[in-house]
Amino acid sequence: MTAATCDLRALSVAKAVHERERPLATILFGSRARGDYEERRSDIDIMLVQAEEPDGEYQGSVERWAEGVVQAAYGRWVPVQLVWISEQGFNEGKRYINHVATQALFDGIIMTQNPEEYQNRDADDEEAEYEYDWTPYNERMRHAEAHLEAFVLCVENGMNDLIIGQQAQNTLEHAMKALLEVHRVRYQRTHNIGNLLGNIRHIDPELRDLAISIAPDIYTKYTGEQAYELSEPLLTDQPDYRERTVADAQHIINRAREVRQQQDA
């Protein structure tokens, strides 16, 4: 992967992190590495491969420092996520097609003193053999159902639009990613509900015409730690938004479970 289409400011942040921490490898990955990012909403995803993963307190201190670097680079808040992984965890993870280490090697920009050990992989390499890790599918399903339950409770308890919208967005994102996981496909690291919907239509033959009854962009704007005023239309302004969101999310969850059962049959 080259820096030709990446977010150059995100790359500068990754370089600063690399120079400060001097890990075995630093990888800018995800949409800001690929170039298909949303300027205000996409995370800056940076992986640090260390001999040993540092403790949570140290990670937190580096993340706070990185937030300052981001503020200086962009002049505003942009979400940054540092993904710490041990050398052993990285080497084990890259055996799996759906592991974050493999995703980073496919679409990431790598900074390392050991380019023979850490180099990009070709997504079209048909000779590569990968295993599949079912842990992400199980976790996505668990989170989808938990967020769906929380969404309903938030509506019933009259919570504000932001909280309700975030639960709805999380529900759909995890449900859609669970469905993509169960099909054993590599998909882009994104929070965009519309993009995930397009991926499902492409991958699942039974859902070629899948649609959700509320515009995907309405859900997408509730992604992550919202630092901006939400633009209209709001989710809670949509007629029957609770029933429509629950029905769409449950349909996707049920389909993911159905495909998984078919594979076990």
Q: How far, CA to CA in Å, does 245 sit from each of 1, 139, 259?
A: 38, 21, 22
CA–CA separation, 46 and 60 (whole Å): 14
pLDDT in tens, 221-264: 998 655 556 778 999 999 999 999 999 999 999 999 999 999 87
pTM of the predicted model, to two decimals?
A: 0.74
pLDDT in tens, 125-165: 645 678 888 999 999 999 999 999 999 999 999 999 999 99
Q: Which of 88, 248, 242 is nearest to 153 (CA)?
A: 242
| Contact between 102 and 93 (Cβ < 8 Å) | yes
* Rounded average pLDDT over 20-33: 96
Which has the higher per-residue pLDDT, 122 or 17? Answer: 17
